[in-house]
Amino acid sequence: MAEGVTTVELGQPLFTGMPCSPNHPGFRMSLSRRHGDAVRPDGGSAASEVLITGGHVGTHIDALAHVSHDGLLHGGLDAAQAQRGGRFSEHGAERIPPIVTRGVLLDVAAARGVDVLDPGYGVTEADLAAASERAGVEPAAGDVALVRTGWAQHFSDAARYLGHDSGVPGVTEPAARWLADRGVVATGADTTAYEQIPAGQGHRVLPVHRLLLVERGIYIVEHLDLEAAAGQGLTEFLFVLLPLRIVGGTGSPVRPIAVLGA
């Protein structure tokens, strides 16, 4: 790494038993070969693993193929036609470009004077504007806007983090439109779904996904961990995210970072 350049992790680690949306398969890792199972003539040995996961497990980005509305994907493409053959011919994860741009951290929890937003709280336009004013920077065209609720602090408690009974804080549709109108290319949050999830409702409806993915063509990043970035007082930085080129996939695991001093 170049002298004076540092990085801050913005995602969660992957491990067996980690929280996962009920809509997706859980992450599993198991050693398929252990040291000593096979030993080479020179005494060397290698270990390897098998991974079982989905495209929307752990910190990940949603491709535009992920959500349709009234049978249509972004741009009015027919979803049934696009998904024929077991993979998407349009808007697949391989079409998501590498994202290297300005990142803006909107710390809504801090702007509201709390460490973590209440379960089921709906982040409003006013909340994002207040977080933007606190940060001294407003999202602009080409940016990635990261919304901190503080919810990543519950990641070690899967039931609490997923919040089916209690709810999960998240961006409301008007707040998402506030970001979209500023031209962001992607936006993410530190929860399992980039949505306000009221108590007991789970992922029954996802209006923000419809607005961002289908109507506006804006990528969504979920399961972020913004605690270290917030702890360091970051507000704007070089944001780097590289999706896997999963042909015809609806999403991809990612490892987003903030690059400082570049």
- Residue-wise pLDDT for 90-141, tens only, equals 999 999 999 999 999 999 999 999 999 999 999 999 999 999 999 999 999 9
For residue 204, the model assigns a pLDDT of: 72
What CA–CA distance (Å, rounded) separates 215 from 220? 13
Q: What is the pTM of this model?
A: 0.95
CB atoms within 10 A of CB 98: 10
For each of the domains in the chain, give its residue range(s) and CATH number, in order of start. Answer: 6-12+56-260 (3.50.30.50)
For residue 7, the model assigns a pLDDT of: 97
Mean pLDDT across the chain, nearest whole number?
95
Confidence of residue 200 (pLDDT cuts 50, 70, 90): confident
pLDDT tens by residue, 8-37: 999 999 999 999 988 889 899 999 999 999
End-to-end CA distance of the chain: 10
CB 235 within 8 A of CB 229: no
For residue 48 the two structure tokens come to 């390897």
pLDDT tens by residue, 46-66: 999 999 999 999 999 999 999
Helical H segments across the chain, by residue range: 79-82, 108-111, 125-135, 158-162, 173-180, 207-209, 227-231
For residue 202, the model assigns a pLDDT of: 65
For residue 248 the two structure tokens come to 């015809």
